[in-house]
Amino acid sequence: MTSSVLDRFLRYVQFDTRSDDSSTTVPSTASQLVFQNALAAELRALGLRDAAVDGHGYVMATIPATTQKTNVPAIGFIAHVDTSPEMSGAGVTPIVHASYDGRDIVLPDDPTAILRLADTPALAGQVGHDIVTASGTTLLGADDKAGVAEIVTAAEYLIAHPEVPHGVVRIAFTPDEEIGRGANHFDVARFGCACAYTLDGGSRGELEAESFSADLMTVTFHGFNTHPGYARGRMLNAIKIAAAFVDRLPGQLSPEATTGREGFVHPYVQQSGVDRTTVTLIVRDFDTAGLAAKEALVEGLAREAAAAFAGSRVEIAVTEQYRNMRAVLDRHPDVVEHAREAIRRCGLEVVEKSIRGGTDGSRLSFMGLPTPNLFAGEHNFHSRLEWVSRQDMQKAVDVIVALCQVWEERCKIGWHSEDL
């Protein structure tokens, strides 16, 4: 008995798989393991006999090759099972709005939660499609259970159609992507693929082969605390030094003022005390050189602020978070070119976008697994207005199947995976 991508998706979103960045366990929440175990069992029932959950909560599984060629590289498909900690993912009640007619969709559990065509340009292309939303009080979890449902449905199709030629296809479902830990325990060697694709993107046809490069900056101002009644001429208030620093940050470099290919500088946490105040900032740019320039600017402004308060001192630390995957993908042009071809074969226009953030693929690419991101049909991530359409999910299934075929067809005789 086969199951449609929609049936699967409706089943998956009912698992509460919220990740938790305050947790130190792996994965961060035990509830993700409940879903992972169910997925591994479902894959085994479909005939992917090696499907299993590893000690870090990752599911991996294999679709054996059907091609006669001996040198088709193994490729992988990856989705994450967790949902954002920013919004409840417990008790999700998915609602299918069949044959969307362009009118407002009012979510029943909170009538102020309304999906409007006027606020949501992507809905314009969905008239006549079946839109899935949550009920108004939780996120939906299309990010990234749409990707999971698409990969499982494609696996089911490939197993049922051995006449479709393809090489070895590997599947991985990762925990804790939303808290930036999805690649931490990903065993690239065991996955054994020449490249992979995450299914974690938006509108149909989208292909993302570029992400931000990202660093974290910690700027600590040291002042001097003393009893405020006897502080004249002695106290140095680190809170005021930090305020002078934040005030100097150029407004045009903030997230709220930037878009497209512009990077930004974003102070987002401050721990304040008179003696010592720490400002934590994230710095983002598509070019690593641009990232360094922004960091030099931030450092200069921090030193300038401290210099205005005689006797104070500033410490600055920079931690690398991830790098633009394009640097890796440019060395493996087939990985992106084959994806373009698969999208076109499914009758879609290829829409290449730059991710104004990172994905598991940003880190996996630098861990030796070139991994661009494909559309999964997700919209309004991390929101109670999250939605996905059945037709987009089915298109993503078709693209996965087509991509497996493109890799097989384009495989040159005498081609070895080392050449990739």
Residues recognised as catalytic: 82, 177
The H-assigned helical ranges of 18-61 are 30-46
386 lies in the site for Zn ion, by CB under 5 A: no
Provide, rounded to whole angstroms, the least separation between the CB of residue 200 and Zn ion. Answer: 4
Residue 296 phi, psi (nearest 5): -65, -40
Q: Which residues contact 325 (CB under 8 A, 6 or more apart)?
A: 209, 210, 211, 359, 361, 362, 365, 366, 370, 371, 372
Provide, rounded to whole angstroms, the least separation between the CB of residue 397 and Zn ion. Answer: 18
Question: In the complex with Zn ion, which residue's Cβ is closer, 19 or 312?
Answer: 19
Provide, rounded to whole angstroms, the least separation between the CB of residue 163 and Zn ion. Answer: 33
Question: In the complex with Zn ion, which residue's Cβ is closer, 143 or 156?
Answer: 143
Task: List the x/- string, 109-148, binding to Zn ion by CB under 5 A.
Answer: ----------------------------------xx----
Residues forming beta bridges with residue 208, ordered by sequence position: 353, 373
Provide, rounded to whole angstroms, the least separation between the CB of residue 389 and Zn ion. Answer: 17
Using CA atoms, how far residue 281 sits from 14, 309, 316, 347, 362, in Å, is: 35, 22, 11, 43, 20
Provide, rounded to whole angstroms, the least separation between the CB of residue 106 and Zn ion. Answer: 26
Question: In the complex with Zn ion, which residue's Cβ is closer, 143 or 334?
Answer: 143
Residue type, 117: L
Question: In the complex with Zn ion, which residue's Cβ is closer, 42 or 200?
Answer: 200
DSSP code, position 380: S
Question: In the complex with Zn ion, which residue's Cβ is closer, 200 or 285?
Answer: 200
**Number of residues in contact with Zn ion under rule CB under 5 A:** 3
Q: Which residues contact 8 (CB under 8 A, 6 or more apart)?
A: 148, 149, 152, 153
* Number of residues in the chain: 420
Task: List the x/- string, 189-208, binding to Zn ion by CB under 5 A.
Answer: -----------x--------
For binding to Zn ion (CB under 5 A), which residues are involved? 143-144, 200
